[in-house]
Amino acid sequence: MENQTTHKKGWETIAIRTILWTYIVMCLVIAGLNWGYLPRASAKTAALITRIWQIYENWVKAAFIFACGFLTLRIRSKKQRITMRRMNIIGLSLTALALHIILPFLLKNPDLYFFAMPLPWNTTPLQAGIEQSAFYKTHVLSLGATMIRWALLFFWVYSACILLGTLIFGRRLQCSSLCLFNGFAAEVFDPAIPLIGKKGKGKPAPLAKKTLARFAFLRWLFFALSLVFSLYWILLQGGIPWTTWMNLMQKIEVYKYLVTELLMAMFFWVAFIGRGYCLYCPLGTTLALVSKVAGQKIKTDNKECIQCGRCSKACPVSIDVQSFAKEKKAVQDIRCVGCAHCVDACPTETLSYETHCISLVKKYKKSNV
């Protein structure tokens, strides 16, 4: 029986690794064509490249999320509880189903995904609202002005829901249950990350303090840059005539996205950790600040901590949860993405994910038992 279990673990992990490699290679090739060659291609070739990109970004990506999410739950359930992780993957799978398949089909907008990342991560929706922008010019022919306006409405409603949801549920909502940029990869590809290096010897070691300090610098740098980009496009929409800088700002943002976000996220999956990009994601930083208002924390005193260290080993952003649990102090760290892997890993169930609203609901339920 033990050999059979090991064999099953082997094929499941190999399958996830194969899918992740496939996803990365396809992304490099297709994104390269879409962002690099497409502007110089003929109309017929450009239309073909765009269609291939849309199929990859929607249908292929969603299929990979469904398959690897299922396999990851199978693998992790053999070692520990997966209550919180299961909620993460179900949330991500439903989000992929909605944003990559159902809504693009119903709204006839295969690029709807770009309108589902709130500020300050992505200014594409703001660019879509300006007729002189390259994004508007390239999409108005395929989508139409009316559909672009609907997409903009979707963006603002979605952003408002994320803000309100974060005030209720903390950063966990977006970063561990809805994010289809890096959060999904960190969750569904988890058993295969990193792709190279020591395999079969557990998770990567926690990041050193110097490394975390460098990421902290990047966090605030990218946060500031993203605020500048967002403010620029908001001012343009407000009627301030700074169109002279428009092409330059668009090019800078494209390179920022391709090199420091997309390529770096994939580099982290290959050689580092799944949540590498999350350590400096500008949207994550914004929601981390909002989460402080929401009272997000990992409660560490539900029962007695036995100092096994599993919580710290399970943390994908190198928070020393064990040291907090030892002193029965709540974990309130700006790096926390709310994945609650530490909660699942705790053998004594002394940890729990909390916000002000979640705590109130728990107290209400307890008082009515």
pLDDT of residue 204: 66
Going by C-alpha positions, the residue among 224, 227, 279, 250 that lies closest to residue 119 is 227
| Class of residue 4 by CB neighbours under 10 A (exposed 0-12, middle 13-18, buried 19+) | exposed
- Amino acid identity of residue 205, one-letter, is A
Give CA–CA dist 305/295, Å, rounded.
Answer: 22
> Residue 353 phi/psi, 5° resolution?
-90, 130
pTM for this entry? 0.91
| Class of residue 216 by CB neighbours under 10 A (exposed 0-12, middle 13-18, buried 19+) | middle
pLDDT of residue 198: 59
What number of other Cβ atoms are within 10 A of residue 251's Cβ?
Answer: 11
Of the CATH numbers 1.10.3470, 3.30.70, 1.10.260, 2.40.30, which one belongs to the domain with range 290-367? Answer: 3.30.70
Token pair in block for residue 248: 């330059």
Give CA–CA dist 195/172, Å, rounded.
Answer: 25
Token pair in block for residue 256: 């920022």
Going by C-alpha positions, the residue among 249, 250, 277 that lies closest to residue 263 is 277
Helix 61-76 vs helix 2-32: angle between axes, to the nearest 10 degrees?
A: 160
Size of the chain in residues: 369
What does the pLDDT profile of the chain (369 residues) look like in tens digits?
Answer: 334 444 445 899 999 999 999 999 999 999 889 888 887 888 899 889 989 999 999 999 999 999 999 999 999 999 889 999 999 999 999 999 999 999 999 988 898 988 998 888 888 888 888 888 877 877 777 778 888 888 889 999 999 999 999 999 999 999 999 999 999 999 999 999 999 975 444 566 788 999 999 999 999 999 999 999 999 998 888 777 777 788 888 889 888 988 999 999 999 999 989 999 999 999 999 999 999 999 999 999 999 999 999 999 999 999 999 999 999 999 999 999 999 999 999 999 999 999 999 999 988 888 876
Give CA–CA dist 305/301, Å, rounded.
Answer: 8
Domain boundaries, the chain: 2-289, 290-367
> Residue 297 phi/psi, 5° resolution?
-165, 160
pLDDT of residue 9: 53
Residue pair 75/191 in contact by the 8 Å Cβ criterion: yes
HSE at residue 232, side-chain half, CA atoms within 13 A, is: 22
Residue pair 210/203 in contact by the 8 Å Cβ criterion: no
Give CA–CA dist 355/340, Å, rounded.
Answer: 13
The partner residues of 352 in beta bridges, in order of sequence, read: 299
* Alpha-carbon distance values, 31 to 34, 200, 323 (Å): 5, 31, 43
